[in-house]
Amino acid sequence: MWKKCLWRGAVSFTTCVTVNVFILMAKTMSMVRITGDKQTLPELVPEYAAHFENPFMALMVQTLLCGLIGFAFGACSVIMDIARWSMVRQAVVHFVLTACVWVPVSIFCWGLGRYWISFICVFLGMLFTYTVTWTCQIIVCRKEVARINEQLLAREAAEGGN
Amino acid sequence: MKISFWIHEKYEEPEIVICGAKKTRELAEIKEVIAEAVNEKITVYDDGDAVQIMRNEVIRFYAGRQRVYAQTADATYLVRARLYELEETLKKQFVRISNSEIVNAKKIRRMDTSISGTIHMYLQGGIETYVSRRYVSRIRDSLMRK
């Protein structure tokens, strides 16, 4: 399980960093076109950029931290494979473990903790996502299980007839 | 396709040979069907002693503590094979229900889901186990094929 956890985390980390780089490149190219200034860079939250002497270093660290969030989500996806855990338990543990990563990173990089209202909104948004996902999964699951039970009953009836 | 017997006293143990101009997928499938039909028993271990049991007696194979076990209605045995190897060999009879378990499709009695979303599977012999969400559709497809 740990091997799968690390592998999924590594794949997610790589994907996140790659996507981040492409987005930054696209943003930079658009800004260069608009402003005409070839030295321009995507804007960073000033409180975050103040931690670094060099804006390139700040961008690189931010990209790696995005990768770290990806690693956390990828690695924690193995929780969904634990059959003996209920969906509720899986969702709660997944949320808590991933929040341990994305909350500090978001506070550090994008000043999420600056305004309490924004923090609450993001938290509620994540909670809503988990609730909707859980609801959809349980509905689909129950339909599938009902179909399986119908097939089992039909098989029993056929075997009883034979 | 011709099917024939070669009876000679030199064959102390029955032998099946598949002849063809080249090895094709059809021949490979024939080999699989014959192997399954002929090898109905599986070797398991009970306290270190090797025992042969009928495959259709096994209710489930599950992995735990770095080992693979076979459970029948009466006992649980150690199996010296990996779960994925058993799944590959017994794919017509057994279906995977989680990362660490495959069950005999004919031994499934029913399934249900709890309010919290746990999926239970009830097998013959009063055995209860858990199903991973990921494999529910696979179980349905497996039962439809049989």
Task: For B84-134, write each residue's pLDDT tens digit.
Answer: 989 988 888 899 999 899 999 999 999 998 888 889 999 998 999 999 988
Q: Do B119 and A145 touch (CB under 8 A)?
A: yes
Q: What is the pTM for the complete model shown?
A: 0.71
How many separate domains does chain A show? 2
User: Which strands form B108-113's sheet, in the order they lie side by side?
Assistant: B108-113, B119-123, B127-131
Measured between CA atoms, how close is A66 to chain B, in angstroms? 28
Beta strands in B1-146 (DSSP E): 41-46, 49-54, 60-64, 67-71, 76-79, 94-98, 101-104, 108-113, 119-123, 127-131
A134: left (phi over 0), alpha (psi -120 to 50) or beta: alpha
For residue range A45-75, what is the model confidence (pLDDT) as tens digits?
888 888 888 888 888 899 999 999 999 999 9
Q: Are residues A92 and A121 in the same domain?
A: no
Shortest CA distance from A79: residue in chain B: B132
Q: Are residues A120 and A82 in the same domain?
A: no
pLDDT at B146: 58
Q: Are residues A59 and A92 in the same domain?
A: yes
Count of CB atoms within 10 A of residue A150's CB?
12
Q: Are residues A62 and A103 in the same domain?
A: yes
Q: Do A141 and B136 touch (CB under 8 A)?
A: yes
Beta carbons within 8 Å of A62's beta carbon, 6+ residues apart:
A20, A44, A48, A109
pLDDT at A40: 65
Contact list in A for residue B133 (CB cut-off 8 A) is 80, 87, 137, 141
Distance CA A99, CA B122 (A): 36
Q: Please, which pLDDT band fits residue B5 given cuts at 50, 70 and 90?
A: confident
Q: Do B116 and A88 touch (CB under 8 A)?
A: yes
Q: Are residues A72 and A90 in the same domain?
A: yes
Q: Are residues A61 and A16 in the same domain?
A: yes
pLDDT at B101: 94
Shortest CA distance from B105: residue in chain A: A152
Q: Please, which pLDDT band fits residue B17 given cuts at 50, 70 and 90?
A: confident
> Torsions phi, psi of B40, nearest 5?
-80, -10
For residue range A88-147, what is the model confidence (pLDDT) as tens digits?
889 899 999 999 999 899 888 888 878 888 888 888 998 899 889 888 988 999 999 999
pLDDT at B145 > cutoff 80: no
**What DSSP designation does B78 have?**
E
For residue range B34-64, what is the model confidence (pLDDT) as tens digits?
766 676 778 888 888 888 888 889 999 999 8
Residue span of the structural domain in which A124 resides: 116-162
Q: Is A157 on the interface with B (CB under 8 A)?
A: no
Joined together, the tokens standing for residue A144 give 């599938």
- On whether the CB atoms of residues B117 and B134 are closer than 8 A, the answer is no
- Mean pLDDT of the region A15-43: 81
Q: Do B99 and A155 touch (CB under 8 A)?
A: no
CATH number of B25-145: 2.40.50.1020
pLDDT at A162 > cutoff 60: no
Q: Are residues A104 and A158 in the same domain?
A: no
Q: Do B134 and A151 touch (CB under 8 A)?
A: no
pLDDT at B33 > cutoff 80: no
User: Which strands form B41-46's sheet, in the order they lie side by side?
Assistant: B49-54, B41-46, B76-79, B67-71, B60-64, B101-104, B94-98
Q: Are residues A151 and A102 in the same domain?
A: no
